[in-house]
Amino acid sequence: MHVLIVEDEKKMAELLKKGLEEENHSVSLAFDGRDALELAQALEYDAIVLDLMLPGIDGYEVARRLRKGGNKTPILVLTARDTVPDVVKGLDLGADDYMTKPFSFEEFLARLRSVSRRGSADRPTVLQVGDLILNPATHVVTRHGEEISLSRTEFRLLEFLMRRAGRVIPRNTIVHSVWDSNDDVEENTLDAFISLLRSKVDRDHKVKLIQTIRGTGYTIREGGKAS
């Protein structure tokens, strides 16, 4: 699951990120409403964890703008605002669930899984490009029936590309999604991981799936010639 956490308390955001990554989820962070809107509109997420008390554009306005713009990504509000009017307002603006702080991480995970399922009707349970198959639930990747062993980052990168199969993804979009914006990602880090993926996914096969689009980024697709 790919999750966007919108939380201005950086310690809280990092704790949530760490906990989710230990559960094999990928996480992006936004610390204010403006960044949250930019990320949510530019990238695809399985769920958004949204605080309400944000600097600048608050969480209510973030939810309202996303829904008004047609963004249907499930939203789990996580906030210290616990009055009934606050809850009603959050749900009326398009949130799918509402949790108040303090909270147990186990309940948070359960609520997050629940809301993410509401937006997954059009998402395939198994991703496939040619004879390459990735199961997001079991983290099993096979090509031509042979299992491929991937590191956590390799898996996240491959899943990100396969969810957008056939589309050319700019380099900065990939980096921003696969690696958190606070991570110290060197210029050639993405290229190095693409090379690692190719060695595992494409090396022993005639058909090469992972392709470089010069001057733009990368794509994964069956056949065709990258330009």
Same domain membership, residue 103 and residue 27: yes
Distance CA 129, CA 133 (A): 7
* pTM tops 0.75, yes or no: no
**What pLDDT shows up at residue 141?**
95
Cis preceding-peptide flag for 102 (omega within 30 of 0): yes
| CATH number of the domain encompassing residue 91 | 3.40.50.2300
Share of the chain above pLDDT 90, in %: 53
Same domain membership, residue 97 and residue 69: yes
- The three-class DSSP label of residue 157 is helix
Distance CA 175, CA 180 (A): 8
- Domain-located, residue 73: yes
pLDDT over 80 (residue 221): yes
The stretch 14-34 carries a mean pLDDT of 91
| Digit-coded pLDDT (tens) for 176-220 | 778 765 556 776 889 999 999 999 999 989 999 999 999 899 999
Q: Which domain holds residue 173?
A: 127-220
Domain boundary among 75, 94, 118: 118
Same domain membership, residue 196 and residue 98: no
pLDDT over 90 (residue 14): yes
227: confidence class by pLDDT, cuts 50, 70, 90: very low
| Digit-coded pLDDT (tens) for 151-184 | 988 998 999 899 889 999 888 888 877 876 555 6
Alpha-carbon distances of 69 from 41, 64, 96, 132, 199, rounded to whole Å: 9, 9, 16, 34, 40
| Digit-coded pLDDT (tens) for 124-151 | 668 999 999 999 878 899 999 999 999 9
Same domain membership, residue 190 and residue 112: no
Same domain membership, residue 62 and residue 131: no
Distance CA 214, CA 48 (A): 32
| CATH number of the domain encompassing residue 177 | 1.10.10.10
Same domain membership, residue 181 and residue 157: yes
